Structures are given as structure tokens and as C-alpha cells.
Amino acid sequence: MFCKVCYEEITPDNVYHPNQRYCNSCGLNHAKYLSERRQTLNSLREMNLESKIIQTKYLIRQEVSEFGLEKVYISYSGGKDSTVLSHLAKSIYPNILHLFANTTNEYPETIKHIKWEREKNGTNVMTVIPVDAHGEIWNFKKVVERYGYPIFSKRVSNAIRTYQHALSARTKKNSEDYIERNFKKYSKYKELPISDKCCDKLKKEPLRRKAKELGLKCAILGILASESYQREKDWLEYGCNIFHERKDNQSRPISFWTAEDIQEYIEKYNVKISDLYSMGYKRNGCMYCGFGVHLEPKGRNRYQRLKETHPIQYEYFIKNFELFMVDFEVMVK
Ligand code: SF4
Ligand SMILES: [Zn+2]
């Protein structure tokens, strides 16, 4: 194996132990770099809201000057964070394009909010429906039936899909070992219809295809580094604006904001958000998605809550997916 920075051979006496893809000196340099980046992230987070707004607008302008206003778009989910991002971006570029990927698994309040943005708030939102390269239209039920249910977490579902689709006995054994090592608790579900393909089929691929069709070069995402360990790690490596470095250009101009900043902005600037939040929901993700469900309070998980807040959608869920949940040992009643 060779060091991913200097390409020198990695030997037992020249390996950086915490991350064995680096030789010792490159590993130490990288660790120093990450620790400086962490300090930068902490100082950005310590700024007050007005300074954060200035910084965010600067990042959006930087993206527009790099690619041109006609080549950038906001990846809009209708949630709180992307609504704050939209509000901010529109204060500089009122007609900036928003692409909303309708996964066919959206809360009615999300659809209602998108409609309001488009028809009453003058937001330039285009809805992207899940169509694949062959023109086939997809929906959540069809994805689940064809590929498997997105359950537990993206990583667990991915590991199980990899295991189930291994082409050789050796790969199968390796993926089985991987599950045993990293997700032992979920090993017993590995023969069940589980997969992480859903996001690709309903969200990522349709958005990518639409962006390509429209000649768009860079997405603006309303994600926060504080949302997950993976997002924070990604921020430390790449920062807010990632241009010409990875396969897709991205701008994440509010990534150093905290959930409290989002709330403060909404109140201070009187931003209208989806009604879902006043019904006790903290997120507006997909209604039937199973990612993270196992971490929710017993007796009050998303499906049990759906029963109270959205009885019609709950009934559809039970009719179509209850048997899956029985197998996954997820309570729905
Ligand atoms: S969030 Fe969940 S349900 Fe929605 S598209 Fe992604 S995997 Fe599918
Ligand atoms: Zn090296």
C-alpha cells in the first residue's frame, strides 16, 4: 500500500497508525492541518449571527462569481435550514434557481410549503421528479420493492446491500466480516430486503440529471457541519466552498451555523417555514424513511407519531410496509 499523499510505500515502520492510508510524516501533517481547521470552525461558530450572515453572503457571491448566476442552484428541501439559506441567497439574487427533488415520500406540509414559496413568495423553485436515465418514473414503494428498504442507517443499509450483491464468494465473505466487525447488532437482518439505493434513485440521481440537463455547474446546499460526525469531518477536510476539487462542485455557505443560529434567523427575519415544525417535528425528511428510526424514543418513533399527525399517510404505510417493519423489529403501533 502507498501513502495517499506522497505515494511512498507504507511499511510497518513508516505508517501513521491512526489512519493507515498515510505514511507517518504525511499522517502527522494531516492531523496538524485538521486540528487547525477545527480551530477555524470553532471561531466561525463563535461569531454572532450578523457576522455569520456576512460570511455566508460572501461565500454565495464567491460561488456566483466563479460559475455565473445562470449556472448555480439551491438544492432546496423545503426544510428549515434550506429555507434560511434560500431567504439569504434571495436577498442578493432574488431569482436564483431552486431545485426541489420530490422523493414521492414527502410530508404534505413540505409540498404545501414548496407551493407557497413558488406561488406566493416569488421563489424560483423547480420540482424534480424521480425519473431515471431510461425515462422510467420511480416512487418510494417501487424502490423498496425493487431494491429494499432504507432502514437503520445509510451505512448499515449500504453494508447489507453490498453483502447481498457480492459477485464472488470471497467478496461475500469480506462483506459479511465487515458487517460483523462494524455493525454486529444488525447482522441478523442481513438477508432481509434492505438497501441504501433509495436516495440515489429518488433524490441524488434525478437532481444530478436535471442539473446536467440545465447546464448547471454548482449546487448550494443548506447543510450544517454540526448535523453529523461525517458532515463535520467533511467540513474539516474541504470547508464551505468546494470548487473543481471533487466530482461535483458544491457550496455549503451555512455549514458553520448551529441549529440555534437557524432559529434566531427565522425569528429575527420573520421567515415562514413549513407547518410541520409547529406540529412538533424537528426535521422535514422523508415520511417513511427508516434511517435513524432505531435511535428514536420507544413508543414515540416517527411511525408512531405519524399515526397521530398524519392518519391517512400512516394507513398507507401500514398497508404497504408493516410486514417489513415486523421483520426489522421496528414498532409501528
Ligand atoms: S431520505 Fe430515506 S426515504 Fe428519502 S430518499 Fe433518502 S433513503 Fe429514500
Ligand atoms: Zn506520505
What's the domain count of the chain? 4
Please write the tens of the pLDDT for every residue from 58-80: 999 999 999 999 999 999 999 99
pLDDT of residue 192 exceeding 90, the answer is: yes
Whether residue 198 has its Cβ less than 6 Å from ligand 1? yes
- CB 267 within 8 Å of CB 273: no
Are 144 and 184 within one domain?
no
Are 36 and 60 within one domain?
no
Mean pLDDT, the chain, rounded, equals 96
What ligand 1 atom has the least distance to the C-alpha of 203?
5
Whether residue 203 has its Cβ less than 6 Å from ligand 1? yes
Are 171 and 28 within one domain?
no
Please write the tens of the pLDDT for every residue from 85-111: 999 999 999 999 999 999 999 999 999
Residues 6+ apart with CB under 8 A from 246: 238
In 151-276 the beta strands, taken as DSSP E runs, fall at 151-152, 218-221, 241-242, 249-251
Query: What percent of the chain has a predicted confidence (pLDDT) above 90?
Result: 93
pLDDT for the residue 296: 92
Strands 241-242 and 249-251: antiparallel
Q: Whose CA is nearest to atom 6 of ligand 1?
A: 199
pLDDT of residue 220 exceeding 90, the answer is: yes
Are 306 and 280 within one domain?
no
Query: Which of 1-10, 199-208, 249-258 bottoms out in mean pLDDT, i.e. has the lowest?
Result: 1-10
Are 29 and 58 within one domain?
no
Please write the tens of the pLDDT for every residue from 143-184: 999 999 999 999 999 999 999 999 999 999 999 999 999 999
Are 105 and 205 within one domain?
yes
292-300 average pLDDT score: 92
pLDDT of residue 1 exceeding 90, the answer is: no
Which ligand gives the minimal distance to the CA of 8? 2
- CATH number, residue 269: 3.40.50.620
Are 37 and 53 within one domain?
no
- CB 41 within 8 Å of CB 32: no
Domain hosting residue 214, numbered range: 48-150+197-286
Are 95 and 187 within one domain?
no
Are 75 and 180 within one domain?
no
* Residue 9: DSSP 8-state: B
Q: What is the CA radius of gyration of the chain?
A: 22
Are 143 and 60 within one domain?
yes
Q: How far away, in angstroms, is 27 Cα from ligand 2 center? A: 7
Are 113 and 155 within one domain?
no
Are 229 and 266 within one domain?
yes
Pocket test for ligand 1, best of 160, 199, 320 (most atoms within 8 A of CB): 199
